Amino acid sequence: MVDRKKGGARGKTAGSPKKAPKKKSPAKKSPAKKTGTRKKQKPDLGKEFKKVLLGVAILLAICLTVAMLIDIFFKPGNLGIRDEISKPRVVQRDKKSIVKPGDTPPISGETGNIQNKTPSKGLREKSERPILYEIFEDMEHGQVEKKPGLPVVKEDIPMIAIIIDDIGYDRKVAMGLYLLDSNLTFSVLPFSPFGGSIARALSSKGAQLMLHLPMEPVKYPEANPGPGALLSSMTPDMLLDQLRKDLKQVPGIVGVNNHMGSKLTADSDKMNQIFTILKKRDLFFIDSRTSSVSQGEASARLFKLRFAQRDVFLDNAQNIPYITGQLGRLIKYAQKHGSAIGIGHPYKATLDTLKIELPKLKGKIRIVPASQLVGVLE
């Protein structure tokens, strides 16, 4: 019985079906990468904009650097120094002193070169723009030995007129000169930055005013007389129209003298045209004598226009000893001829010199407005 059960049990065991092996769960397959369908990333616009700005800044810096180098080393005629007009290198007439770059340059009167004027610093009304002067070197120390045929007026004390040219760039020096002697004469450049206001201030105090008329020099256009210039290329209508505009710029004037003008004053036709207007307006003309062949005197005789000419330039060099010496020459010339006309400029050195020397002249020389030393030529 037992065996049967065992056998039966074995049979059952042997005949029982085998358990099926457990099926492995299939691993999850990662999705296949599709070639050519990669998603593009959006660009960072902020970063791209910064890159563009940085590139532009670098380009500008390079351009500015190149421009500065060109200006310093390759500016025409300079060889690494500033323009000749800003820092002239000029041999003076006596050939003993040379004005080097950085030194104070001489101004109009004797060297035959184009000079510059920079108004003194720290002033309420001034312009940094340089003023050009034209100089003619045929008169030793800027003195004219030939006196035009004016009527001789005998005075107990010789008379001198001192004309301060190029008014319109420095109010303080102009007013300082007036306070030294109210009989100084002031010649105002048309279209200058402060010419109108300075002229009004001087006129209100009773100062005598002239028009400092810009005229074409021989070296034009290298030497430019500035706004309002009368040029030899102008037709008569153009010339007279410009002259009227210049005269309108400085109201209250009693006369005219030339600024530069070595070419135009040598042209008798142009001078005749100019003098027709001056005669109608009862204005006198004082020739600054920037040319030895000026036709001013001949035209004045023709039109019977009141006339005189400059005898001495006072401040070709801007230092007190030189200006003092030139003032002495002017006084001697006045003592010889009865009168003399000197021309100076609104430099601080001129102001300082006159402040020292004018008080010494009392009783020896009489300073008069320029209008008292002009007349119709005999």
Residue 97 has pLDDT above 50, yes or no: no
The band of 151, judged by pLDDT with boundaries at 50, 70 and 90, is low
- Per-residue pLDDT averaged across 120-143, rounded? 48
Return the closest-CA partner of residue 215 out of 160, 169, 271: 271
pLDDT-derived band of residue 81, with 50, 70 and 90 as boundaries? very low
Claim: this prediction has a pTM higher than 0.75: no
**CA 360 to chain CA centroid, nearest Å:** 36
* Least reliable range by pLDDT among 110-124, 142-156, 177-191, 238-252: 110-124
pLDDT category at 126 given cuts 50, 70, 90 is: low
Question: How many angstroms separate the CA atoms of 290 and 138, rounded?
Answer: 9
pLDDT in tens, 319-369: 999 999 999 999 999 999 999 999 999 999 999 999 999 999 999 999 999
Q: Closest Cα partner for 273 from 243, 306, 310, 308?
A: 243
The CATH H-level (homologous superfamily) assignment of domain 138-373 is: Glycoside hydrolase/deacetylase (3.20.20.370)
- CA torsion sign for 200, 282, 375, 259 is positive
Q: What is the mean pLDDT of residues 140-156?
A: 57
> Residue 82's CB: how many other CB atoms inside 10 A?
13
Q: Which of 64-73, 92-101, 225-234, 335-344 has the lowest mean pLDDT?
A: 92-101
Between 83 and 46, the more confident residue is 46
pLDDT: which is higher, 108 or 241: 241
- Say what the pLDDT of residue 50 is: 81
pLDDT tens digits, residue range 170-180? 999 999 999 99
Residue 14 burial by Cβ neighbours in a 10 Å radius (0-12, 13-18, 19+): exposed
Kindly tell me if the per-residue pLDDT of 231 is higher than 80.
Answer: yes
Q: Is the pLDDT of residue 33 over 60?
A: no
For residue range 291-320, what is the model confidence (pLDDT) as tens digits? 999 999 999 999 999 999 999 999 999 999
Identify whether the C-beta of residue 184 lies closer than 8 Å to the C-beta of residue 177: yes
User: Where along the chain do its domains lie?
Assistant: 59-83, 138-373
373 has pLDDT over 60: yes
- Per the prediction, the chain carries an average pLDDT of 78
pLDDT of residue 127: 54
**Of 372, 365, 314, which Cα lies nearest the Cα of 342?**
314
pLDDT digits (tens, 9 = 90+) for 34-69: 455 555 566 677 777 788 888 888 888 888 877 777
In the chain, % of residues over pLDDT 70: 66
The yes-or-no verdict on residue 114 having pLDDT over 50 is no
Give 255-278 pLDDT, tens digit per residue. 999 999 999 999 999 999 999 999
**122 pLDDT more than 50:** no
Q: Which has the closest alpha carbon to 84: 110, 112, 105, 108?
A: 105
Please tell me which residue, 46 or 163, carries the higher pLDDT value.
163
Neighbour count for residue 286 (Cβ, 10 Å): 26
pLDDT at res. 344: 97
